[in-house]
Structure 1
Amino acid sequence: MSMTASHHELDLEALEQLSTGAHSMGTSAVRTCEMITGAVVLATCNRFELYLDLADGAARSAVPGTLTERDLAHAADEVARLIAVESGVSQEAARSAFTVRSGADVTRHLFTVASGLDSMVVGEREIAGQVRRALDSSHAEATTSPRLERLFQSASRASKRVAHTTHLGADGRSVVSVGLDLAEASIPPWRQTSAVIVGTGAYAGATVAALRARGCADIAVYSASGRAEQFARDRGVDAVTDLVAALGEADLVVSCSGAGRRNRTGSTGLPSDDPTALRYILETAAVVAAREDAGVRAGDAVPARPLVVLDLALHHDVDPGVGDIDQVLLMDLGTIRSHAPSTSSLPVRAAREIVAAAVVDFSDGETMRSADAVVVGLRDRIALEVEAELARSASSFSTPADLAAHEKSLRRFAATMLHRGITRIREAARAGEPLDEVAEDTATVLSMRWKGRRAVPGAAPTGGALPDRAVLSDRAVLSDRAVLPDRAAERRTAQQGDLAAG
């Protein structure tokens, strides 16, 4: 199942609050909720999603891997409780903020997200890397599971197919690119622009690449955590330790550290009105001081060139008051979302077709995987039945030749029944029918063959070969013409009878 809160349903401030503690939510969910056996958390600037692998509940559907509504509700309530503790919102508010999906809907949603079709800027490519890193994080925290592993790996493959076979994202549109496009009108030409990046994460790396692609060479990076030096060395940019001084020389600041946190009151779950409760990487006072210093150096009370500040962090890095400073233009994710360009329908349609096909392929594969597990169990059970029958009947044969003929007959019939069973199990899996019932029917027919042999007319009382056309009940025909009960057909007939009687 999955739980999703995104920019589609929530404003960014509410999303920011919900995602507080997102980095530890997967571990907490697996550790706290017994039925959650795996978790992958995808937290980006405009979405907070949890993908959960749940153990089958006691009241589960007969189809393997299918969860009941009760299972889903219980897991969602448990996760909402954990999120409420971390974020300070009520459990009811946390629960109502998320869209819960299960089954193929989870696959469809993740594949759509990974392909950039659900992004604030449709077609953006950063999300593909974020999906991969979400899985990597679950590896590091030991919270993934085989099913989640297959799901996320398949989502990444679908994303690559979209990227390679459509023009979606070919122009590099992303949150970063849209933000830089908006800034362009208010700064010098890119080759003359001095840019400061705050943060060393994925968005910071994408910003360096985007600035260079536009011709900007004067790039510096600042990190409150001390990682700027390594980041700068790896990318050939400058590292700065004095942010205020760097601001005084900058035309453009792109802040994407995500280190800013908005403290919340635990009782109401609402943002605090106390200004001292707010902590930002870039405070209003620091920007004012930087502008004044730059003005003094320039011999003017106000610097001639404006400063553009892009706040790309979900947990705002920049104090909103910065936007009130003269000749400072502040743009955040809300601004970018309102200016995100639309894309042509043709690439989007092609991408959605690729995603739809990938969802079908994945679902078919998972269905067959479930069927394979039942087949393995049936094969093992039939093997045990054959060995048990041979042990029971060995003393009934007077010569080794008769015993060998009997064993050959048993194994041939068992192989035939296994083949019939496998065929029906796969058919039932495709039709969404109960698999265990088909396996049980196969084993029952086989058992009836052993137990009913002396009751079959013409059967040898102490051994020997059985007749080829010994017919048992339940439409089970022995030997190579054995067939299994069609339970689905029987249910349909019963339903039709009920309707006729009604």
Structure 2
Amino acid sequence: MVLLSLVASHHELDLAVLERLSSDTHAVGHEIVGAASSISGAVVLATCNRFELYLDVDDAAHTPAARAAAAATVAARSGYDPAAVAAHLHAMTDTDAAEHLFAVASGLESMVVGEREIAGQVRRALTAARRDGTTTSDLESLFQAASRVSRSVEAATGLGSAGRSVVGVALDIAEQNLPAWADVRCVLIGTGSYAGASLAALKSRGVGEVRVYSPSGRARAFATARGVRAVPAGADLADELAGVDLVVACSGAAGAVLGVDALAEARVGTSQPLTVVDLALRHDVDPGVRELPGVRLVSLHTVAQHAPAEHAAVVAARAIVQDASYAYEAERRVREWNPAVVAERTRVLGGLEAALQELPADLRDERSERSLRRRTRAALHAPTVRAREASRAGDTAAYATALADLAAIAIPAVQPA
């Protein structure tokens, strides 16, 4: 098995490119597994600032074909040329892929270093793969390890404990143009997990009034469950913005929910400042609204320019991530290489037990049999330990020698008492 990750993120690509790559992510994993027989599993991690594929490939020799199949599948969904998709997706394998995912889950690759939301997004990516039937035991192990590493990083460094998030940084930026939080009137667009995180951040700051608008009509249930009001179903969003100080948009709908012309018309006759925070990758709000008088737009690009990071904590976190990735890869090799060791041990010990069982009861001696079992296990012990240590170290030559030593051990001859 080879772990292959294909990664595109805000570090290298414009968010508009990431938006297109992330089209129909719910179908991509299943289609990738069906695209090549060498790919037995896939987990898709798509967030507001990254698009990543984690693939379980059967052999290192098949990774180029697997990469091409994945790029072709994403291209068909995004409308990009397959060659362009392949160029956008940076490939990593095994230890490098594990280290990258561990860093992502720990918030080290986020716009806001140490953000909290990403750990949950990593868990949900695995849950989605389970639902779609595209996960494997190796991918399960990898993503569960990533969650453990994320918790270890937070416990050891404090990253994430301050509650930093994309939402938090966006609201810090927005605060400069708002009245006191208790006086802020806000409309929240969206009802998904990101909208829930946004509402929690708004409440923690003491926002006086929050109303929820949903393009899909789910605002009432979402708002009722969280103790806020919903914009009535079917209402025109622009009409609901009269007297509003802040709009936080994170619905992820296909296309802008609030356009320039609609907002311009809604603001006729008012000079009240309006701050719009658009956290949706696909732009819930037309970016052109920033040109309207009195309107300030805070986007993911704005967040990226203002995101903080603490150098010492990040250095310590990366050391934890690197150590964890090496340990994970070592244990993965042990699991992958161990069956041959087990087979040799089973051959010898199983053969011994079979031979002992064939002896007539009146010719068996319990003390002699215990001694024979003890000597046999002692003979197997040293090469078994050497094989597993070589597996952990990735030393193929030492592993082969230890395995050959195990294969050379004959089934002990059983003599009647």
- TM-score (normalizing by structure 1): 0.75
Matches within 5 A, 1:323-472: 323-341=290-308, 343-386=309-352, 401=363, 411=373, 414-434=376-396, 435=399, 438-446=402-410
Within 5 A, what are the aligned runs for 1:149-168? 149-168=140-159
**Does the CA contact (< 8 Å) of 2:238 and 2:258 recur in 1?**
no
Contact residue 384 and residue 406 of structure 2 kept, 8 A: no
Return closer, same or farther for 1:157/1:406 CA change in 2, 3 Å cut-off.
Answer: closer
- Whole-angstrom CA distance in 2 between matches of 1:437 and 1:236: 67
Asked whether the 8 Å contact 1:38–1:145 carries over to 2, the reply is yes
Kept in 2: contact 1:378–1:418 (CA 8 A): no
Which residue, out of 289, 314, 323, partners 2:281? 314
Q: Which residue identity lines up with residue 390 of structure 2 in the other structure?
A: A
Q: Distance in 2 between matches of 1:149 and 1:404?
A: 45
* Count of residues in correspondence between the two structures: 408
Report the Cα distance in structure 1 between the residues aligned to 2:286 and 2:328, rounded to whole angstroms.
45
Equivalent-residue separation in structure 2 for 1:115 and 1:127 (angstroms): 8
Unaligned runs of 5+ residues in structure 1 are 58-67, 261-278, 293-300, 451-462, 466-502
Counterparts of 1:15 and 1:226, CA distance in 2: 27
1:218 equivalent in alignment to 2:185: no
**Partner in structure 2 of residue 275 of structure 1:** none
Instruction: State the AA in 2 paired with 1:426.
Output: R
Q: What's the offset of the Cα at 1:2?
A: 0.8
- Aligned counterparts of 1:352 and 1:432: Cα–Cα separation in 2: 23
C-alpha contact (below 8 Å) 2:19/2:281 kept by paired residues: yes
Question: In 2, Cα distance between the equivalents of 1:188 and 1:354?
Answer: 42
Is the contact between residue 194 and residue 219 of structure 1 (CA under 8 Å) also seen in structure 2?
yes
Query: How far did residue 171 of structure 1 move?
Result: 2.8
CA distance in 2, matches of 1:284, 1:290: 10
Q: Secondary structure at the match of 1:197?
A: strand
C-alpha distance in 2 between matches for 1:175 and 1:367: 37
Q: Deviations over 1:143-199 (max 9, x none)?
A: 211111121112111111222232323332221111111111222221111111111
- Matched AA of 2:244: A
Q: CA offsets, 1:87-121, max 9 Å, x none?
A: 11111110111111111111111111111111111
Q: Secondary structure at the match of 1:219?
A: strand
User: Larger Rg: 1 or 2?
Assistant: 1
Q: How far has the Cα of 1:443 moved from its partner?
A: 2.0
Which residue does 2:161 correspond to in 1? 170
Q: 1:14 to 1:402 in 2, by over 3 A?
A: closer
Any conservation in 1 of the 2:35–2:70 contact (CA below 8 Å)?
A: no
AA paired with 2:212? V
Match of 1:123 in 2: 114
Q: Is the 8 A contact 2:28 2:73 kept in 1?
A: yes
Equivalent pairs: percent with the same residue? 45
Summarize the Cα distance change of 1:114–1:405 in structure 2 as closer, same or farther, 3 Å threshold. closer
2:241 to 234, 244, 247: 247
Equivalent residue for 1:284?
260
Pair 1:256-2:223 in alignment = no
Name 2:200's counterpart in structure 1.
Answer: 209
**Length-normalised TM-score, structure 2:** 0.89
Conserved? CA contact 1:414–1:446, under 8 Å:
no
Q: CA deviation at 1:440?
A: 4.2
Any idea what the Cα deviations from partners look like across 1:385-406, whole Å, max 9, x if unmatched?
Answer: 4467779x98xx9x96499999
